[in-house]
Structure 1
Amino acid sequence: MVVLLYALLLQSVNSTDVDRLIDGGHWKRARAILEERVRKNPADARATYLLSQVKIAFGDLNSALKLAENVVRLENENADYHAILARVYGEMAQSAGAFRRMMYGLRFKNEAE
């Protein structure tokens, strides 16, 4: 029981630290921590969500999309997770051709509603 509580405490501290790194624009350091967390625990919705944000910052929209889709599958009721997916669709639509722009626009609309 004590070990479980300690592990939960470490996880929350790591989330706070990662949030600070992201807020401070330390994307590379945040990416390293988050990639490791998601690799060790693919069901960690918070880490997956944050890593999606980091991937957007690096312009890696394909990876951000996969992560955002996964986090919505993990916790479908979380509005922030739908918002990050909508953001990825919006970013992808801006750089897409006409057909893909329409497709991403429809997906964005579905997530934004």
Structure 2
Amino acid sequence: MEFKGTKGKWTKQQNREGDIQISSSGFRNLATVNFYPEGFREKYINGKLSGSPAPDSSGYRRECIYNAKLIAKAPEMLEMLQKINNIENEEFCKESFNVEDLKRKLSRLIKEATEI
């Protein structure tokens, strides 16, 4: 099966508004992870903001960062799963197949997708 989405490495960066944008290596915006609760941005833009915009105490901002990291790593995770899926059983028996190398690559990818 071939991935039909945007090819290439995906990255994450924070924009001027403080949201995290997921972009492809071609600088194309693929997704935006917003930091603010629904309706907050409209109130702020219209100058009618009341109360605090910081849902940090609940861990909301941190959760958004983790979501963005996972989204950005999706193509690499899919590629790794496809490689694992294409491994034939007899390859596991060959000395040339390095299970430890595969485990290291998987651990690195999981860490990159789940840690700040």
**TM over 0.5, yes or no?**
no
The structure with more helix, counted as a fraction of residues: 1
If asked which structure has higher relative contact order (CA below 8 Å, sep 6+), I would say 2
TM-score (normalizing by structure 2): 0.27
Higher Rg: 2
TM-score (normalizing by structure 1): 0.28
